[in-house]
Structure 1
Amino acid sequence: MSLTEILSNFHISETTEEIYKNTIKASEIETPIGKLIAVADDNFLYILIKLKSPDKVINTFNILQKELSSSIVIGSTKIITQLENELTEYFSGKLKSFTIPMRCLGTDFRQQSWNQLKKIAYGETMSYGELAVKLGRNVNHARAVGSAAGANPIIILVPCHRLTAQNGHLGGFSCGIDVKTWLLQHESKFKNK
């Protein structure tokens, strides 16, 4: 399903349109891991997700629209253009740290989890339990950390792919284990270059 098809299924009633005074732009970005959907205004990136599950995309759009009182339309912004450039550099192995201003919407625990995820270095991994401990929680909160990672609205830049199970297994990933494996191998290849 394309972004156009998703947005055509993402209905806004006439009364709703009157409430939303701001507009946020959504754009498709082709990458080596497949098509990504980026949603941003001229100040922040709000969403970067893989076009895998249209229902998840629509749900994420609904949350964003409600929280920001904004409509979402197809288009680009200076943030999306900057993101495209930085993703090109990342996938070529030249960029290890993104400079895109981001705003992730979620519960306090999810926000804390996502902020900790951003501290995991390029090419490194951390277990879900280790992240729970860094958050001041018991290692047994690993499932809650996994749930927060699964709800991450900005993949790659908030690197939930760097989380693994305690036993060294990959664990889950909202984009699929094949994409998680690809990203980890890609970062490992360019880590010391």
Structure 2
Amino acid sequence: MISYRQIDSPLGAMLLRVQDSFLTGVYFEGQKYYPAAALPGVVPERAAGIFDETARQIAAYFDGSLEAFSVPMRLVGTDFQTRVWEALRAIPFGETLSYGDLAGQLGLPPGHARAVGGAVGRNPVSVIVPCHRVLGAAGDLTGYAGGTDRKRALLRIEGHAAAARLPILQQSALAFA
């Protein structure tokens, strides 16, 4: 059974998805690939604890007291996507890689940065699987399913210099950044 819960964050509402006692999705409201079938419903008791712990850890991340997440998670995608998402999890807090560097770490031949970028963009567990830590070849804050304004804000939380490359937006949901 798939269950959903919405939580608030400094960057706007987030939707959590749990299936069979594993976190399988974290989405910013309105982000690309937001699950269309996300309907609130009865939450099984075993999922309630995962929701509570995920919300606690996300809040701790945003307040600067958590650098690594430890919620039980299942990454659901193609073999290639899950390989890329697991590689994202290995990028340390406050550090970044380019799409090309990530492709190289996966042992892919040159020219596979776009394929890696496609998989990064479909990451279903935003923030926890840190796809925001992947930049363009020139260090640009290229696409992010939740919006480049959120990507910049997440990098600012982690103290990364690339966050200063975009102007601070005047949106109230992003005011903390």
Query: 1:80 corresponds to which letter in structure 2?
Result: F
Query: CA offsets per residue over residues 18-58 of structure 1, 9 Å max, x none?
Result: xxxxx222000100111110011462101101111486321
- Higher relative contact order structure (alpha carbons within 8 Å, sequence separation ≥ 6): 2
Residue of structure 1 aligned with 2:25, choices 47, 60, 68? 47
Partner of 1:88: 59
Aligned sequence identity (%):
36
Partner of 1:131: 102
Residue of structure 1 aligned with 2:146, choices 168, 175, 183? 175
Contact 2:27 2:34 in 1 (8 A): no
Classify 1:95/1:135 alpha carbon distance in 2 versus 1 (closer, same or farther; 3 Å): same
CA distance in 1, matches of 2:61, 2:42: 24
Please state if 1:108 is matched with 2:94: no
Deviation at 1:179, TM superposition (A): 0.2
Contact 1:42 1:78 in 2 (8 A): no
Classify 1:125/1:115 alpha carbon distance in 2 versus 1 (closer, same or farther; 3 Å): same
Larger radius of gyration: 1
CA distance in 1, matches of 2:149, 2:158: 14
Classify 1:165/1:55 alpha carbon distance in 2 versus 1 (closer, same or farther; 3 Å): closer
Structure 2 residues without counterparts, runs of 5 or longer: 161-177
**TM, length-normalised to structure 1:** 0.76
Task: Count residues with an aligned counterpart.
Answer: 157
Query: 1:25 corresponds to which letter in structure 2?
Result: S
Query: 1:185 corresponds to which letter in structure 2?
Result: R
Residue of structure 1 aligned with 2:118, choices 110, 134, 147? 147
Partner of 1:38: 16
Query: CA offsets per residue over residues 42-83 of structure 1, 9 Å max, x none?
Result: 621011011114863217x6xxxxxxxxx9735461101000
**TM, length-normalised to structure 2:** 0.82
Classify 1:188/1:55 alpha carbon distance in 2 versus 1 (closer, same or farther; 3 Å): closer
Two-structure CA RMSD over aligned residues (Å) = 2.0
Moved beyond 2 Å, runs of 4+? 53-56, 71-76
Classify 1:55/1:96 alpha carbon distance in 2 versus 1 (closer, same or farther; 3 Å): closer
CA distance in 2, matches of 1:178, 1:118: 21
Q: Which one has a larger percent helix, Structure 1 or Structure 2? A: 1
Structure 1 residues without counterparts, runs of 5 or longer: 1-22, 62-70
